[in-house]
A and B are shown apart, each in its own frame.
Chain A
């Protein structure tokens, strides 16, 4: 969708800005809001770029640098912390070779921390994009990440094959 289409979808009133920003970020293959889309949005909604950037930067869900296709958000609030969020981070760092705030070289994963996800009953917990995962331990994490990597491999393979058939 173009920026205009996203704005039209939610309505160009100021109070819809957050939803529109989500729309823009979600459709970006690198999961972030780039400079160009803020400029375009500013013209579309008649809001200065400074205010759009100011609003978006208030929320940790928005990023202004390219991220992976999958954004992993590990809960950092006290219940998860007590039940070992620290070791969850370690496991992911070990498995993917990235630290918090970083993105894997293949552009697949970004690791972030987050405040409470509201599912303390299944702590420690994390989100990968829109999917919630609870009762985490090392093993479970490896499983989840393996699965995504596998899917992606297949997908990449399929794309390649499809591309080849076109010749």
Chain B
């Protein structure tokens, strides 16, 4: 511990901490722009400068470490003037469109301008209007608003390792551009939205589909139903200033009814369905490999619920296509079931049903527009709104979200289990699959405390677990004594690591879960900003709490699912399932230009 003073206050601080972190601990706010903890610390924007006694120039607090006896001032006139100038310079090269901007009231630049009392900009404005890039289904780029902080570049290049975004040209001409093209659609972008999740301003956002949903709801001929992904209930509250990790499933349900949806359902229902299909697929693959010694069976099997990962795989590792589960993602399974089974049940034509998804994800917007996703005969999922968009939607309708009562979701597509809840977390799909697969094979519950597979939980980038199977049921005897090795990766950079290790024969697994975004869906590109590791942890905790409080915690116990198989699907991997719930992938390597 070392002693410093900050604004004449004595503080103890650990050695090696930055002034910024020390200030945060002492509840002194220092503004930042380029800095993003655990992502990038380039020390380039200089918004965070402070005065240090005995040091001639102002120092950036985000990269300057504390030392014994340091006297720091965070708010002197010199500091404030420097920050003001930085802000004025940024604003002189910025369109003043706050009222019509996606980030209005949720913009770091706007907020700083307010906090620093910027009333006029002394520099002549030279902002050049650059064309809006709306070329992809998920992401919109508005380079005129970019302040060149490069957070998106670091996330895209170093965390996701997709490498789409990079600074181009120099000086005033610098822009953050995709691939070697001008439009995102002409570059390889997996649509994960992690860039949009970290952008401090309105320069990268999701495509806004709220008006289309309003229109559908206002159309009396349409039966508009909504599904909500597992990760929404642990994050939506943040749009209304509730603590990160507040569970708002009940209030969300009420709000969706108030918005006028004709049915409020749960993607969780389809997550349970995914587990039955995917678990059966895995066991079938293992059986073929072990009993029939069929060499053509591709193992390890990879999960397929994360559409950003699917895009990544198709572009960079198409040789893995046979290894990826053929299961559609829960969102798409829901759409296909809603427009067939459910449509029949409520006596509606599938053409008259509109399926809206609330997703933590921008890649879901891309996924629902894939040509293959029309197995019901029409587009299976019509519109996708991100968590952030739902927050705006609710505000537009004047709903007092924080104070409305809880309600229950509708049957049957709103019924689900705890195994579906944890789809939101990294490691969750794997845990849910093991809960079911183990029980199918042994007839017993997964032998872990509270059914949790602890080694694959948490925020480590790559996690693994081994499970020895003993006491199998007769038909699964071939698995007796087999140790099943599983792995989990989140963030595409980590996915790449695992794939390379497998390719070089360093690792051998049976089943691998990949989620595109750091932390899993709870850290999705469409979640409320800013998702830090602390916030990830809070959301993850909330999701496990939700799971543990459930009556049913294993997908195969979902009573509504049992009825679905009895009345409609037959059995997992059956003919109807095969047609409606499974899909195929395409080699897109040639498009990498």
Residues of A in contact with B (beta carbons under 8 Å apart): 35-36, 38-39, 42, 48-54, 57-58
Contact = CB atoms under 8 A, between A and B. Distances in A.
A38 B180 contact: yes
Given A35-B180, A38-B180, A50 B169 contact: no
Interface stretch (B157-165, B290-298, B416-424): B157-165
B504 to A, nearest CB: 15
B592 A39 contact: yes
A49 B170 contact: no
Contacts of B168: 50, 53-54, 57
A50 B170 contact: no
Chain A's interface: helix, strand, loop or mixed, by majority? helix
B235 to A, nearest CB: 30
B167 interface: yes
Interface in B155-198: 157, 162-170, 177-180, 187
A52 B170 contact: no
B593 interface: yes
A52 B168 CA distance: 10
Contacts of A53: 166, 168, 177, 179-180
B170 A48 contact: no
A53 B165 CA distance: 11
Category for how many chain B residues contact A? 10 to 19
Contacts of A35: 180, 593
B166 A39 contact: no
B493 to A, nearest CB: 13
A52 B169 contact: no
24 contacts: A39-B180, A39-B593, A42-B592, A48-B163, A49-B163, A49-B179, A49-B180, A49-B187, A49-B593, A50-B157, A50-B164, A50-B165, A50-B166, A50-B177, A51-B163, A53-B166, A53-B177, A53-B179, A53-B180, A54-B166, A54-B167, A54-B168, A57-B168, A57-B170
Interface centre among B162, B180, B593 (most CB of A within 10 A): B180
Contact of A51 (B157, B170, B187, B592): B157
Contacts of B166: 48, 50-51, 53-54
Contacts of B187: 49-50
Given A48-B162, A50-B166, A50-B187, 4 more contacts: A35-B180, A50-B177, A51-B166, A53-B180
Contacts of B169: 57-58
A48 B593 contact: no
B163 A50 contact: yes
Contacts of B163: 48-51
A48 B157 contact: yes
Contacts of B170: 57-58
Interface centre among B157, B166, B169, B187 (most CB of A within 10 A): B166
Top 4 closest pairs, chain A to chain B, by CB: A48-B163, A50-B166, A54-B166, A53-B180
A62 to B, nearest CB: 11
A38 B163 CA distance: 14
A36 B592 CA distance: 11
Contacts of B157: 48, 50-51
B207 to A, nearest CB: 21
B135 to A, nearest CB: 16
A50 B592 CA distance: 11
Interface in B365-422: none
Contacts of B167: 54
Contacts of A51: 157, 163, 166
B166 to A, nearest CB: 4
Contacts of A58: 169-170
A144 B180 CA distance: 37
A52 B177 CA distance: 12
A29 B452 CA distance: 64
A42 B593 CA distance: 9
Nearest to A43: B592
Contacts of B177: 50, 53-54
A93 B547 CA distance: 75
Nearest to A54: B166
B572 to A, nearest CB: 40
B55 to A, nearest CB: 32
Nearest to A33: B180
Contacts of A50: 157, 163-166, 168, 177-180, 187
A42 B164 CA distance: 12
Contacts of B164: 48, 50
Interface centre among A39, A50, A53 (most CB of B within 10 A): A50
A49 B315 CA distance: 14
